[in-house]
Amino acid sequence: MEVGLFIPCYVEQLSPEVGLATARLLEVAGCTVHYDPQQTCCGQPFLNMGATASGAKLARRHLQLFERYETVVCPSGSCTATVRHRYPELGVGEEPAGRALRARTFELSEFLVNQLSRSHFGSEFPHRVALLQSCHGLRDLGLGSGSEQVHGRRSSPAEELLLAVRGLTFVPTARDECCGFGGTFAVKFPEVSARMGRARLREWAEAGAEYVTGTDVSCLLHLDGLRRKEGFGPEPIHLAELLATGDVA
In this predicted structure, what is the pLDDT of residue 20? 96
In this predicted structure, what is the pLDDT of residue 248? 67
In this predicted structure, what is the pLDDT of residue 149? 65
Q: Does domain 128-243 sit in CATH 3.40.50?
A: yes
Contact call for residues 180 and 196 (beta carbons, < 8 A): yes
Contact call for residues 176 and 159 (beta carbons, < 8 A): no
Strand 235-238 relative to strand 211-214, pairing: parallel
Contact call for residues 102 and 46 (beta carbons, < 8 A): no
Classify residue 207 as exposed, middle or buried by CB count within 10 Å of its CB (0-12, 13-18, 19+): middle
CA–CA separation, 247 and 147 (whole Å):
33
| Regions of the chain short of the pLDDT cut 50 | none
The pLDDT tens digits for 96-122 are: 999 999 999 999 999 999 999 999 999
Strand ranges inside 28-70, DSSP E:
32-34
Q: Of 113, 105, 162, which Cα lies nearest the Cα of 133?
A: 162
In this predicted structure, what is the pLDDT of residue 225? 93
CA Rg value for the chain:
17
Total-model pTM: 0.92
In this predicted structure, what is the pLDDT of residue 94? 96
CA–CA separation, 124 and 111 (whole Å):
21
